[in-house]
Structure 1
């Protein structure tokens, strides 16, 4: 997977339907946060901070 593919995965956390046995009257879904590219729930925030820094001509790695 290249870096563009990883960035496109941020904010697209997969969801799974949880079966509750014989009671199919309701649908319950769970987000699979462990499948985020960085393994963190903070991926969206980190991407936003980096993109804003780049828009403002700042290097997110140097802090300048």
Structure 2
């Protein structure tokens, strides 16, 4: 994940996670980035290529928009 943040110049706002079994973890991260719409496809590809990933969610939250 660190490489993802560096490669796309993402600013981490909040992160948390825990593992309830070995290799079965939940990870949540909120970040900000300039040109997020342009970076979105590559970020999604990078996240989905994480070994052992079962499922991921990616949502863009914008200031001034209802979440």
TM-score range, shorter chain: under 0.3
Choose between structure 1 and 2: higher helix proportion. 1
| Rg larger for | 1
Normalising to structure 1: TM-score of the pair?
0.22
TM-score of the aligned structures, taking structure 2 as reference length: 0.21
The structure whose residues are more often strand, as a share, is 2
